[in-house]
Amino acid sequence: MEFTVSELKEYFNSVVNMIEEQKDYLCELDRKLGDGDHGVTMSIGWQAIKESLNNELLNEEDCGKVSIKVGKTFLSAVGSSVGPLYATGFMRGAKVIKNKTVLNGEDLAQFWLAFGKGVKERGQADVGDKTMIDTLEPFVNVLEEKFNDYQEFLSAFSEAVDAGEEGMKSTKDLTSKKGRSSRLGERSIGVQDPGATSAYLILNEFFNFVKSRSVQAN
Ligand code: ADP
Ligand code: MG
């Protein structure tokens, strides 16, 4: 498969729209667990990314530079704990796609593995802490294993996103151990983690984006 720098930018633009649609839902989850700002935070970050995509990035041909800029823009726009987490993900992902205008399945798999591992390294959370790692770690593990098995991106990514979704859902029954919501202790049980939810939505958006491309191409 071939994935161009224009498609990468189109994907990031589709995340901008998706986050606007999910903003209230993400805030509602965070109202029950934290300070209620997760949807607003994500919206501020992605609106800043939209600005970059429409300006500095308009003529950028290097997939790596696009992803670095996305990470840096998110970091400077977002004040809350997810700022450095998602920023690190996109900046680590950028390293494996640098100097490339067109990406293949292997590049895409390596990009998302670096993204997930980057967030984990930055946040130092483990599975079970009720954070975005509950989505990202199973996603990374399945993507790594299935891409090795199939050597085909979309099937491997599809199974990895399903594993991420399971992980996201598992956060509902967990007690928060990291971040603002950890202050609630057992009172955090019963609500799905906002960050685990936004992480799943970002991955699922990529799956839908690539799937619709491959349907068009056939
Ligand atoms: P804040 O907690 O500063 O208000 P947000 O509301 O934007 O930030 O984001 C909260 C989310 O951040 C949580 O739902 C959780 O998933 C995620 N999070 C917090 N700390 C960590 C961490 N150390 N590692 C991974 N994710 C984290
Ligand atoms: Mg919050």
- Residue 46: what residue type? W
For residue range 166-181, what is the model confidence (pLDDT) as tens digits?
A: 999 999 999 999 988 9
Over the stretch 30-67, which tens digit does the pLDDT of each residue have?
999 999 999 999 999 999 999 999 999 999 999 999 99
Alpha-carbon distance 188 to 190, whole Å? 6
Ligand 1 binding pocket includes 48 (Cβ within 6 Å): no
pLDDT of residue 1: 84
Instruction: Check residue 42 and give its pLDDT.
Output: 98
Task: Say if residues 27 and 37 touch (Cβ distance below 8 Å).
Answer: yes
**Burial per residue of 109-136, b for 16 or more beta-carbon CB atoms within 10 angstroms, e otherwise:** bbbbbbbbbbbbebbebebebbbbbbbb
Indicate the domain borders of the chain.
Answer: 3-212
Cβ contacts of 59 within 8 Å, gap of 6 or more: none
Does 180 sit in the ligand 1 pocket, CB within 6 Å?
Answer: yes
Dihedral (CA of 46, 48, 50, 56) sign: negative
Q: Is there a contact between 86 and 116 (Cβ–Cβ < 8 Å)?
A: no
Q: Whose CA is nearest to atom 24 of ligand 1?
A: 123
Query: Which atom of ligand 1 approaches the CA of 196 most closely?
Result: 16
Other beta carbons within 10 Å of 212: 11
Q: What average pLDDT does this structure show over 194-204? A: 98
Amino acid 213: pLDDT: 84
Ligand 1 site, residue 34, Cβ cutoff 6 A: yes
Phi-psi region of 185 (alpha: psi -120 to 50; beta: other; left: phi over 0): left
Considering the domain 3-212, what is its CATH architecture? Alpha Horseshoe (1.25)
Compute the distance between CA of residue 15 and CA of residue 179 in angstroms, rounded to an integer.
Answer: 24
d(CA 101, CA 160): 25
pTM equals 0.97
The ligand 1 atom nearest the CA atom of 33: 14
> Residue length, the chain?
218
